[in-house]
Amino acid sequence: MTVTWKRMCCVSKQARVAKCAILLILGVYLYLYFTNFWAETVTSYMMAALEKASPLDNGAERTLRSYQQLYVDVEENDLLLLEPSQTPPYEETQPEELPIFWKEHSEQDILKRKSRPMQNFSISDPYNHSDSNLNLVPLRVNLSEVDNFGKQAFPEYHKEVARLQNASQDDVTTAEDLTMLELFPPLSAESRAQLIFTMDVFVRACRQYGWTYFLVGGTLLGAYRHHGLIPWDVDIDVVVNGSNWREVRHVLGNTPGFTLWTQRSGVWRFYLSHLPKVESPSKWPFVEIYFFSEDDEHLWGLTNSLKYLMVDRERVLPLSTSRWEHLNVSVPACTERMVKTEFDVSRCVSHYMVSETEGFDVREPEGNVDCSRLYSVYPFVFRNQSHDTDIVVESRRIGQSVVEEVTKSVEPKLCQN
Ligand SMILES: *[C@@H]1O[C@H](CO)[C@@H](O)[C@H](O)[C@H]1NC(C)=O
Ligand SMILES: *[C@@H]1O[C@H](CO)[C@@H](O)[C@H](O)[C@H]1NC(C)=O
Ligand SMILES: *[C@@H]1O[C@H](CO)[C@@H](O)[C@H](O)[C@H]1NC(C)=O
Ligand SMILES: *[C@@H]1O[C@H](CO)[C@@H](O)[C@H](O)[C@H]1NC(C)=O
Ligand SMILES: *[C@@H]1O[C@H](CO)[C@@H](O)[C@H](O)[C@H]1NC(C)=O
Ligand SMILES: *[C@@H]1O[C@H](CO)[C@@H](O)[C@H](O)[C@H]1NC(C)=O
Ligand SMILES: *[C@@H]1O[C@H](CO)[C@@H](O)[C@H](O)[C@H]1NC(C)=O
């Protein structure tokens, strides 16, 4: 060390002072750079500026415009931090909306969210057998059970389509109804059985190993509105405790008959290994596994494509249970609120899908109707809360016939705040 220092600093009298100074500055800068000093300083500076500039409120109506002074540009749900004086980079275009779940949080919370690291798992590491937590009993599965889940292929839907096809096509209403129904085709019985079985195995793994998970996105909407898969949906989205990613990889990656497709920063996919090969790097149908992270106040999406998720802890925990096909699955404490924040539950929306066999490629929304138009062909859940009790009866019906009734407690009061 001393030798190096002497050689670098003291060879020439003239350059000595300048060289020493440059090296010192560089050294200090690099030290601060690697200790993350700058990022933290900038964030705390911004936070302090924010507190002075605008009183914090949680108005739900807030759009990106009100944030322009400080940080804008929600490209891919990311926020760029800009100097207050800087001009936003998209002057001609309409500013995008903030991700819906971010709107109900204060600027400080959003900044905090922004400063958190995203998912960056070292998935190429070999399985770590020295870690005693991973000394896990393998999951037992019986692959023939997939046949138990293919029975319900929505006969009401197919009967109604056949009836309309058979009826006089001169009737405008008939033609319209038929066109509408054809925009909401159910998953084939086979794919549906594979998807539900895969979910069954995933849920069993979470229970056996004690991983916290819950449904998100369209899958949560399905649990709320249909007590199962949305009949015309093609995949399942779940989010698992990010602290458990190594165990998830170890267990699901070693489950006989199944493949776990993992990515460093992206979503993981879990599916039956024997499915036909497709163009996409994974096979289909799959359960998509995202991860969450947490602190004392919030839970948020750790996986890049789940960036939009940020919720108060007490809106999620303690988790509630929802009926989902034949299973009881974990859902957030404030499921109704979360679903209604993200979706208009009275509208049924379907997406154009290229082909089941080419992998799956969801494009623009296609069908978009008031759900009541589908009540007679698909199961929907109707809720009935009797006066002065905290009990809700959730009744799953197709048309007039009740498929199943489940009794539940109403959601906690704090969900309404
Ligand atoms: C992810 O972690 C690796 C080390 O495991 C690091 O080299 C890399 O820079 C990180 N990437 C991001 C985007 O943080
Ligand atoms: C084994 O796992 C532990 C935590 O799960 C981790 O800290 C450690 O670095 C891992 N070792 C190897 C060799 O991957
Ligand atoms: C596997 O599941 C099938 C279908 O449910 C059942 O008939 C069979 O007995 C099961 N096999 C074992 C070993 O449990
Ligand atoms: C279609 O119409 C024909 C005669 O009009 C009738 O015999 C047949 O049963 C109908 N099929 C359905 C599925 O309604
Ligand atoms: C996530 O896992 C960590 C480590 O096991 C645990 O401390 C934490 O409580 C878990 N979080 C939830 C919400 O279950
Ligand atoms: C699901 O929960 C209900 C109670 O809400 C219980 O009666 C039923 O046995 C559970 N079913 C399964 C498959 O765990
Ligand atoms: C709701 O429950 C009450 C009694 O608990 C019953 O009289 C009423 O018919 C139910 N309504 C619906 C739509 O099921």
Could you tell me which residues are beta bridge partners of residue 330? 321
Least confident range from 12-21, 33-42, 323-332, 405-414: namely: 33-42
Q: How far is the CA of 141 from the centre of ligand 3 (A)?
A: 10
- Other beta carbons within 10 angstroms of residue 392's beta carbon come to 17
Closest ligand 3 atom to Cα of 148: 5
| pLDDT tops 80 at residue 321 | yes
Which among 148, 339, 119, 335 is positioned nearest to 248, based on CA atoms? 119
Residues 137-175 pLDDT 10s: 889 999 999 999 877 689 999 999 999 998 877 788 888
Mean pLDDT score across all residues of the chain: 81
- Ligand 7 pocket test, candidate residues 386, 387, 394, 404, most atoms within 8 A of CB: 386
Sheet containing strand 401-409, strands side by side: 380-385, 391-398, 401-409
Name the more confident of 31 and 308.
308
Q: Are strands 310-312 and 320-324 parallel, antiparallel or unpaired?
A: unpaired
What's the pLDDT at 110? Answer: 79
The average pLDDT across 385-404 equals 93
Closest CA relative to residue 362, chosen from 370, 377, 351, 349: 351
200-214, 255-269, 322-336, 358-372 — which is least confidently predicted? 358-372
Any ligand 7 atom below 6 A from CB of 384? yes
pLDDT at residue 355 in the model:
60
**What share of the chain in percent tops pLDDT 70?**
75
SS3 content of the chain, % helix, strand, coil (to 5): 40, 20, 40
Whether 126 shows a pLDDT value over 80: the answer reads no
Question: Poorest-confidence range of 11-20, 141-150, 330-339?
Answer: 11-20
- Please name which ligand lies nearest the alpha carbon of 163: 4
Tokens 């623009």: give the residue: 364
Q: How far is the CA of 95 from the centre of ligand 5 (A)?
A: 37
Q: Which pLDDT does position 85 carry in this prediction? A: 38
Confidence of residue 114 (pLDDT cuts 50, 70, 90): confident
* pLDDT over 50 (residue 83): no
pLDDT category at 74 given cuts 50, 70, 90 is very low
Identify the pLDDT of residue 366. 87
pLDDT at 87 over 70: no
Q: State the pLDDT confidence band at 417, using cuts at 50, 70 and 90.
A: confident
More confident residue, 37 or 328: 328
Q: How far apart are CA 255 and CA 272, in angstroms?
A: 10
pLDDT grade, residue 403 (50/70/90)? very high
What average pLDDT does this structure show over 255-272?
Answer: 95
Residue 2 has pLDDT above 80, yes or no: no
**What is the model's pLDDT at position 115?**
77
**Residue-wise burial string across 304-336, b where 16 or more C-beta atoms lie within 10 A, e elsewhere:** bbbbbbbbbeebbeeebebbbbebebbbbbbbb
Ligand 6 centroid to residue 233 C-alpha, Å: 24
- The pLDDT of residue 23 is 82
The per-residue pLDDT for 35 is: 57
3-state secondary structure of 182: helix
Q: How many CB atoms lie within 10 A of CB 273?
A: 12
Identify the DSSP state of 73.
Answer: -
**Residue-level pLDDT at 76:** 43
Q: What is the pTM of this model?
A: 0.81
Question: What separation in Å is there between the alpha carbon of 297 and the centre of ligand 5?
Answer: 14
Contact partners, residue 51, CB within 8 Å, separation at least 6: 108
HSE (side-chain half, CA atoms, 13 Å) at 186:
24
Q: What is the arithmetic mean of pLDDT over 381-401?
A: 93
The residue with tokens 């540009």 is 73
Residue 47 has what pLDDT? 52
Rounded Cα gap, residues 407 and 392, in angstroms: 6
**DSSP one-letter code for 356:** S
Rounded Cα distance, 206 and 239, in Å: 11
From the CA of 384, give the closest atom in ligand 7. Answer: 1
Alpha-carbon Rg for the chain in angstroms: 27
What is the distance in A from the centroid of ligand 5 to the CA of 326? 27
* Residue 251 contacts residue 206 (beta carbons within 8 Å): no
- What is the DSSP annotation of 300-355? EE-SGGGTT-EEEHHHHSS-EEEEETTEEEEE-TTHHHHHHHH--TTEEEEEEE--
Q: Cα separation of 228 and 239, whole Å?
A: 17
What is the average per-residue pLDDT within 16-37? 71
